[in-house]
Amino acid sequence: LFISTVSGNLVDAPEKMKKGVRFKIAQNQKTRDGMEHVHYVSCVNFQDGLQDILLGLNKGDPMTVNGRTTIAQNESNGKMYLNIDVIADNVTLPPRKAPASTGSDFPFANA
């Protein structure tokens, strides 16, 4: 168990659980030899105030998650896979642009 930060895009819309919200992030990573790999990180968040925000997100939305992480190695069909799971203590979303009518990226800038 360790703390990590993962940035990526939602694989699917977040799903409400009995307690908390579950979601998965895809993170692209290029190696030195130019190969590209996609890592999938399963996340869960139990903070009441954040659940409604997470449930309003859609597939492809970017985010950064920080939290307690576990990694397990599994084998399936002769291939080794890593299962990465994060209990998301902190979730950061990029700022959303204000409606085009304000002419500003920040809604309070014209106040």
Cα distances (angstroms) measured from residue 10 to each of 60, 73, 75: 5, 22, 25
Cα distances (angstroms) measured from residue 8 to each of 38, 45, 56, 87: 10, 16, 17, 16
Please give the pLDDT value at position 108. 44
Please give the pLDDT value at position 54. 92
- C-beta separation of 93 from 61 below 8 A: yes
| pTM of the predicted model as reported, rounded to 2 decimal places | 0.74
Please give the pLDDT value at position 42. 93
List the pLDDT tens digit at each of the 111 positions of the chain: 789 999 999 999 999 999 999 999 998 888 888 888 888 899 999 988 888 889 999 999 999 999 999 888 888 888 887 888 999 999 998 886 545 544 545 444 444
For the chain, give the number of residues: 111
* Start-to-end C-alpha separation, the chain: 46
Please give the pLDDT value at position 72. 87
Cα separation of 44 and 67, whole Å? 10
